[in-house]
Amino acid sequence: MLRRKPYKPRYIYKEPRFLSMPSMREERQWRKSVYYWWWRCLRLSDSYRRCCERGGTGRMSRLYNDFGNVFVTDFRTWWQEDRRGERLFAEPPAPLWLHELNSSSDWDANWDRDSVMIVAVPLNETKQHLMTKFSNLLARRKVKVVGVKNRRKGAATYRVNPKFSIDALGNMIDVYELHKNYKASGKKITLAELGNKARIAIEYGEKSASDEIIDEEKRRNVMASTVSRYLKKAKILIANIGIGKFPCFD
């Protein structure tokens, strides 16, 4: 009987990669993964921190049972411990997969016509002819092929909301974390300075021919406005991540 290949975790979005030894290189790669930003954003939730300090009790206890104490370790350890990243974000193994039946003993009695199509393939035909015939068979059966949009919804325990920009998420969370650290230290910093320290890139919009050089005051104002917008959106992100939704701005 044909055996299926060992299950390899499959993620809808780019998953974090880990080298044999921790390094800055792998951390740069993590920033391209929405799952890393999920972890970073959860660490900014004061409500979740209090839940962790109480040993996982309170209204966020269910979330704690899944995510654990995100404050006591780094991302690498958190993700790999007890295969946590896989358990939370990987897609479940498909119950069916395309493969050849070697004999009648490979037939599964639970299969029915609505879930499986059995086809006899004459191997003396050309590949192009067979592909055309198979396409016609699918059309007659009116099989609904899952599109990219539906695949993006996924079936993982925690599903990523599909509309997001990974760069924008990083900016929001970086800025909010930096702002929180300055506030805790009692040091004062302007929004423009905050944006500079977080290395936020800003856009000025269209420039006229006489406005080739942006003056410093305008640059500060644009940066302050951008950072203010990021901080407001980050607060919404953090509020929603406390109910298991990310990234969500509703």
Supply the pLDDT for residue 209.
42
One-letter amino acid for residue 71 of the chain: F
- Listed in sequence order, the residues at least 6 apart from 63 whose beta carbon sits closer than 8 Å to its beta carbon are 48, 51, 242, 243, 244
CA distance 227 to 219: 12
Count other Cβ atoms within 10 Å, centred on residue 89: 23
- pLDDT, position 3: 46
- On the CB side of 249, how many CA atoms lie within 13 Å of its CA? 13
- Contact call for residues 40 and 173 (beta carbons, < 8 A): yes
State the pLDDT at residue 118: 80
pTM: 0.76
Point out the residues of the chain with pLDDT beneath 50: 1-3, 147-151, 204-212
Residue 214: per-residue pLDDT: 62
What is the model's pLDDT at position 13? 95
Token readout for 49 is 């921190």
Mind listing the pLDDT tens digit for each residue in 207-220? Answer: 444 444 568 888 99
Q: Give me the pLDDT at residue 173, please.
A: 97
Look at residues 28, 25, 29, 22 and name the one whose alpha carbon lies nearest to residue 78: 22
pLDDT at 142: 63
